[in-house]
């Protein structure tokens, strides 16, 4: 069945790569089957982001999440996504030690989830790793700019490229991951002119988060956009709903109903069949 944009087949990593400079790529995070089912008709790419460490598991940063957890959530999202391209984050500690370590982890992710690619953070330092994964037919979504896996607490979430050295570093990272064969890259938390220069320079799509409309697409953490994750709302997030408030309203109404014995009502009860009475 065609989705809301008229697409009826699975969106591949090649389709994503081909969108450079074309219609903006629409990307969101998903961690569960029901959320993947809801988002799937509306997006090009679903990312099972390691942001789930903070959003689902209440951790202070993303570094606490394990490969096994990412695989479980990745498989759940794959069960719900029929059309979007699904990419799973390689978590902190599962790929940095060596290209061979990354290949081992990425192979597990691909084999145990059936996802279409993996994402990893880093630039020049990850070029050899990206090259090895791509040589082994594992599509890689790169991630440059602000790298949450390198952040040890909230104060570390700093916008990149405000000084000359930072600008040059992120630009070199973007070029390195593109040259290494990534099919697209997330550009996180950079000043707008840097995101623009990266997008104009590299041959693969840039997917921005806090990186301006100059990118070839956008991604947000779905729980931020829905107003469910309320610990903090970064400047770059636009809230499209306040589901956190709705959840509280529903819980309050349920509690009142239970306490006053309005719930369950007769319509929620199982009756004995007449023949048994
Ligand atoms: O983990 C994540 O959700 C991400 C996105 C914010 C890009 O990396």
pLDDT digits (tens, 9 = 90+) for 224-243: 999 998 777 889 999 999 99
Nearest CA to ligand 1 atom 8: 49
Task: Please pick, among 188, 192, 197, 200, the residue that the annotation labels catalytic.
Answer: 188
pLDDT at 275: 67
pLDDT of residue 95: 98
Mean pLDDT of 150-158: 72
Q: Which of 48, 51, 74 to mutate to test the pocket of ligand 1 (most atoms within 8 A of CB)?
A: 51
Does residue 151 carry a pLDDT above 70?
yes
Report CA(8)–ligand 1 centroid distance (Å).
Answer: 26
Q: Among 27, 50, 195, which is best to mutate for testing ligand 1, by the most ligand atoms less than 8 A from CB?
A: 50
Task: Output the pLDDT for position 1.
Answer: 47
Average pLDDT along the chain: 94
Residue 44 has pLDDT above 50, yes or no: yes
Q: What is the pLDDT of residue 157?
A: 78
Does residue 29's CB lie within 6 angstroms of at least one atom of ligand 1? Answer: yes
Is 25 a residue whose pLDDT tops 80?
A: yes
C-alpha 228 to ligand 1 mean position (Å):
16
- Its sign, for the CA torsion 178, 184, 189, 193, is positive
Residue 197 is among the residues annotated as catalytic for this protein: no
């Amino acid at each position: 069945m065609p989705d809301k944009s008229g697409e009826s087949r699975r969106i591949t990593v090649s389709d994503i790569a081909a969108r450079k400079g074309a219609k903006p790529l629409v990307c969101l995070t998903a961690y569960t089957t029901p959320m993947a089912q809801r988002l799937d008709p509306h997006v090009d790419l679903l990312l099972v982001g390691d942001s789930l460490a903070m959003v689902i598991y209440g951790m202070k940063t993303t570094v606490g999440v394990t490969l096994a957890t990412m695989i479980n959530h990745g498989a759940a999202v794959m069960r719900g996504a029929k059309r979007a391209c699904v990419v799973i984050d390689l978590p902190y500690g599962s790929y940095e030690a060596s290209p061979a370590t990354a290949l081992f982890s990425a192979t597990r992710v691909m084999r145990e989830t059936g996802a279409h690619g993996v994402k990893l953070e880093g630039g020049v330092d990850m070029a050899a790793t990206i090259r090895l994964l791509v040589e082994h037919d594992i599509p890689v979504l790169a991630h440059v700019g602000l790298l949450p896996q390198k952040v040890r607490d909230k104060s570390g979430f700093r916008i990149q490229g405000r000084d000359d050295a930072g600008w040059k570093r992120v630009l070199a990272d973007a070029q390195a991951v593109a040259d290494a064969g990534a099919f697209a890259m997330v550009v996180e938390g950079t000043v707008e002119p840097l995101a623009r220069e990266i997008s104009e320079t590299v041959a693969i799509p840039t997917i921005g988060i806090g990186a301006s409309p100059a990118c070839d697409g956008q991604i947000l953490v779905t729980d931020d956009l829905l107003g469910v994750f309320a610990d903090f709302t970064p400047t770059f997030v636009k809230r499209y709903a306040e589901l956190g408030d709705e959840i509280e309203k529903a819980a309050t109404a349920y509690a009142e109903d239970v306490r006053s014995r309005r719930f369950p009502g007769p319509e929620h009860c199982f009756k004995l069949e007449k023949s048994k009475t």
